[in-house]
Amino acid sequence: MFIHIFIILLGVAMLYPLLWMVSSSFKIQTEIFTGISFFPTKITFENYVNGWAGLSGITFGRFFINTFFIIFIGIVGNVLSCSMTAYAFARLNFSMKKIWFAIMLVTLMLPFHVTIIPQYIIFNSLEWVNTYLPLTLPRFFAVEGFFIFLLVQFMRGIPSELEQAAKIDGCGPIRIYWYLMMPLSLPAIVTTMIFTFIWTWNDFFGQLLYISNIDLYTVALGLRMFLDSSGKSAWGSMFAMSTLSLVPLFAVFIFFQRYLIEGITTGGVKG
């Protein structure tokens, strides 16, 4: 019983900053940091109205649209490229297969910060900076080693008899990949989509590095606009938009958590 009480208290402590942010989004600006009460003395939606109106004549809804666009392109790119690469590693035989797979695994251990400068130099020479291309186009070249490994582990667990039956029916590698492996790997594919959504939605550094035009700003960059180090900061509006930015994440996790758990556990067990 003491363990359960400890876990509950720990969970409350972890949720407290989130609950405080949601509560503060309904407070007036002068009441947020006074510490008088955790709950707002008078509920107001002014922060949501002002925050959605945005800054510099651009509504915050534009930032949501930009973010969803990048996420959509990223999901399509990751699912297609990583699934094809995983199918090759899991089912096809080619020269130096194990070596290439080991090299792919090494990329998982390579810190992101090591590749920042070389990538920026390349994208800048291609004149891709201040566009969505650095954030979307690489996804079509299977650059996410984690998703490749996840899909490889899942595809290796698919019975080989199904593949042999498809070959007897005259299916080649492409048709086996599209009509057999892709439908049977749905849990792992949905897991790839969910993680792509979450990681892209929460990405701040990459978007800050390559995007400077306010018309192209995402939600993460839009939230930063409410904080002005040299002037007045709109804390209430920032908390309100931060609360709204959590809604898609919660919705995706709630509706797809079954696929998320199944994709991870099944891939890990069968691997």
Domains and CATH numbers, the chain: 21-27+41-270 (1.10.3720.10)
Over the stretch 30-60, which tens digit does the pLDDT of each residue have?
888 876 778 888 888 999 998 898 777 788 9
Q: How far is it, in rounded angstroms, from Cα 225 to Cα 54?
A: 9
Please state, for a pLDDT cut of 70, what percent of the chain lies above it: 94
Across-strand partners of 58? 55
* Residues 4, 10: Cα–Cα separation, whole Å: 10
Non-local CB neighbours of 103 within 8 Å, separated by 6+ positions = none
Q: Are 187 and 154 in contact (CB under 8 A)?
A: yes
Over residues 174-214, the pLDDT tens digits come to: 999 999 999 999 888 988 999 999 999 999 999 999 999 99
Which of 38, 35, 43, 46 has its CA nearest to residue 15?
38
Looking at residue 230, what is its pLDDT? 53
- On average, the pLDDT of the chain sits at 88
Which 3 state secondary structure label does DSSP give 5? helix
- 85-141 pLDDT, tens digit each: 999 999 999 999 999 999 998 988 888 888 899 999 999 999 999 999 999 999 999
What pLDDT, on the 0 to 100 scale, is given for residue 4?
85
Angle between helices 97-108 and 145-156 (to 10 degrees): 130
d(CA 271, CA 261): 15
What is the reported pLDDT for 220?
92
- Tens digit of pLDDT for each residue in 220-240? 999 888 876 555 678 888 999
